[in-house]
Amino acid sequence: MPISDYHISTDPQRFDLDAVHAFLSQSYWSPGISRDTVAKATQNSLAFGVFLGDSQVGFARVITDKASFAYLADVYILDAHRGQGLAKYLIATILAHPDLQSLRRFMLATKDAHTLYTQFGFSELANTSRFMEIHSPAVYQA
């Protein structure tokens, strides 16, 4: 499928939250996440859907104050649509969004997509000792 057959939308009415939930609940970063949590997270983020016709084949969301900070999360392209440059198309579209210009810091976490993100200027944290977290991985487990 040529990349020109795909399009990206930020219209929440277009999102297939059942499909997004199905993927995220099986992902390494949010196993067991509830559909309600996916819906709430999407509603409170700047979300992007990748579509082939009416079918959603990818997703990402950005948590941001739209002034100084953003965090990229829940990025995926369905397996059947990978290898066509859709992830690059998605990241480029996100970084070009008018609400995400002039940010001081744009962060993300990834286990396996470093090569993708470095193409767009992301790098490993220069000083990890400055960053802290509260991490509760079991929060999605019933």
- pLDDT, tens digit, for every residue of 47-98? 999 999 999 999 999 999 999 999 999 999 999 999 999 999 999 999 999 9
Partners of 7 in the β-ladder: 51
Tally of CA atoms within 13 A in the half-sphere of 135 that contains its CB: 7
Which of the four CATH numbers 3.40.630.30, 3.40.50.720, 3.20.20.450, 3.30.1490.20 does domain 3-120 have? 3.40.630.30
For the chain, the average pLDDT equals: 95
CA distances from 133 to 11, 22, 115 (A): 31, 27, 24
Distance, in Å, from the CA atom of 109 to the CA atom of 114, rounded to the nearest integer, reads: 9
Q: Is the pLDDT of residue 28 over 80?
A: yes
Closest listed residue to residue 39, CA positions, set 50, 26, 24, 27: 24
61 Cβ contact partners less than 8 Å away, ≥ 6 residues apart: 41, 42, 45, 46, 47, 48, 72, 73, 74
pLDDT at 139: 85
Q: Could you read off the pLDDT of 83-136 as tens digits, one per residue?
A: 999 999 999 999 999 999 999 999 999 999 999 999 999 999 998 899 999 988
Q: Pairing mode, if any, of strands 69-77 and 55-64?
A: antiparallel
Which tokens hold the place of 12?
């929440």
Kindly indicate the confidence band of residue 142, based on its pLDDT and cuts at 50, 70 and 90: low
Burial class of residue 35 (count of CB atoms within 10 Å of its CB; 0-12, 13-18, 19+): middle
| Phi, psi for residue 26 in degrees, rounded to 5 | -110, 0
E strand or H helix that includes residue 7: strand 6-9
